[in-house]
Amino acid sequence: MHFSSVEEAKNYVVAVTNKARTPEQINSALAYYQDMIDSSQDTDSKKLWEYEHHTLKEWSNSTDFNMGNFPQGIDELVLEAIEWRSMVYAFQNIETKTNPFTESGFYAQWYLGAIYGIFTIVGKLLSKDKRDNSLRRLWTLTSPTMLLDGACTEQEVEFLNATLNTSSGHFTNENSKTLLYRNKLIAHNESMPIVKWDEVDEDLAILIRMWSLLIAWSSFGIFNPFRTDKQAFLGLESMYQADEIEALKEQRRIYISKVHAWSKAFAHTGLADSGRGAFSAMSVNFNIAKPHDLTPKD
């Protein structure tokens, strides 16, 4: 694939990373676009919103949409892997009076689901199949344009490209325990290799940085992408005490802070990058003017 401009490449990144909309979200967006059309004050604005409305309407009526012939967005995959891992991290790092993961079949199944979820997502992100909407494919297609646009350094691009080398790179069965586990146990039933969560985090850090560079370059970033503490641990009150749930929330926040740091650290050095990364935060600044001195002067 050849991009005719930087803008075209950025639009492509946005298109393949964004989460696919549900029918309810599409209907809401169409209603919003129609409101903007009706309230447009000039021809150019009206044409813009008419185009957005027409494009989305065509997509919602298409056979591909109605048959589900579209991939998951890369954002959705990355964020869901982080959600799974942050929960596992939280449970790993606190001591509780009960251990439902050994006492409850439901919790044991949840933990197994978390393992399968994380490793399956890593496999999707690193798929070598050119038909797949993978992070590997997106990075390979767009990183040259990013480099020419000054969005990343040549050294980091070379490092990340080397990790993706299919024969000698990091993400091979020989060099990545995460990928070995996924390929040998999750995708096939060949063996049960031993993998440590620290090794999984090392691989996730590389993938998150790669994804972060793409997001920061192509968009304003992602606002508040993670579930709240309350949402994450809702329903655990019967198994854990209040102080234990608060400790779980804190550990989850610690892991998500690690993710933020990985997204803004150079992959080849580990040093902090002054760029904003994939995650954006809304900030409001207030300037309070000093009142005029109304005291009469002599």
CB atoms within 10 A of CB 287: 4
Residues 6+ away with beta carbon under 8 Å from 86: 226, 232, 252, 255, 256, 259
Residue 78 phi/psi, 5° resolution? -60, -50
Please give the DSSP secondary-structure letter assigned to residue 169: S
Cβ(100)–Cβ(107) below 8 Å: yes
Report the alpha-carbon distance of residue 151 to residue 218 in Å, rounded: 10
| 236 neighbors 245 (Cβ within 8 angstroms) | yes
Give dist(CA 286, CA 184) in Å, integer: 56
3-state secondary structure of 241: coil
Residue whose tokens read 């197994």? 112
How far is 6 from 218, CA to CA, in rounded Å?
Answer: 9
Q: Is 252 in contact with 232 (CB distance < 8 Å)?
A: yes
pLDDT in tens, the chain (298 residues): 678 889 888 888 887 887 666 778 778 878 887 888 888 778 877 886 787 788 778 877 887 677 665 556 899 999 999 999 999 999 999 999 988 888 889 999 999 999 999 999 999 999 998 888 899 999 999 999 999 999 999 999 999 999 999 999 999 989 999 988 888 888 777 777 778 999 999 999 999 999 999 999 998 888 889 999 999 999 999 889 999 999 999 999 999 999 999 999 999 999 999 988 899 865 545 455 555 444 545 4
Three-class SS of residue 244?
A: helix
| DSSP structure string for 118-162 | HHHHHHHHT---TTS--HHHHHHHHHHHHHHTTSS-HHHHHHHHH
